[in-house]
Amino acid sequence: MKKVLLLAATLAGIGLTTCSSANRKNDEVRTFRRQYKMETDFTVSNDSGEMNIELKVQNQAGTLKLQDLTIDIAALDGQQKTIWSKRTTLDVTDIAHHASKTFTFKETLEHPEALEYLNVTLAPDDKDSDYASYPEFVRVAAN
């Protein structure tokens, strides 16, 4: 088994300033999304190709809690080329302020021996992304 600990990082980003109410709500969601801290650990078996991912998410968003958090997970080789990726939505409803929750995933890699890095980030929410389809933004649009 190969085991690698990936750095813990507080996600930071740029908010967009707009005039409409819907855009202000989207900007609030963007701000709160960036206040969730994620720590990642994973193991991979070169024999079976099974990758086990453990993702600890801490809510630092204050009184407003999001119900969903859309993230991208990418497995990278030594040249930092993507060998596997997945977009998923985490249910963060029950994570109280400053509390954390651990999510676990099992995935199978076609070439596990090539895995060098695991990158876990928020799915992009800039104007060129498909953020409007993420559950956390869909909920805002419905209200």
Q: How far apart are CA 3 and CA 72, in angstroms?
A: 20
What is the biggest distance separating any 2 CA atoms in the chain, rounded to whole angstroms?
A: 55
**Residue spans per domain, the chain:** 2-142
CB 109 within 8 A of CB 51: yes
Reported pTM: 0.81
**CATH assignment of 2-142?**
2.60.40
Give the pLDDT score at 4.
Answer: 45
Q: What is the mean pLDDT of each run of 10 residues along the chain (143 residues)?
A: 40 42 86 94 95 96 83 96 97 92 96 95 95 92 76
Torsion angles phi and psi, residue 21, rounded to 5: -60, -45
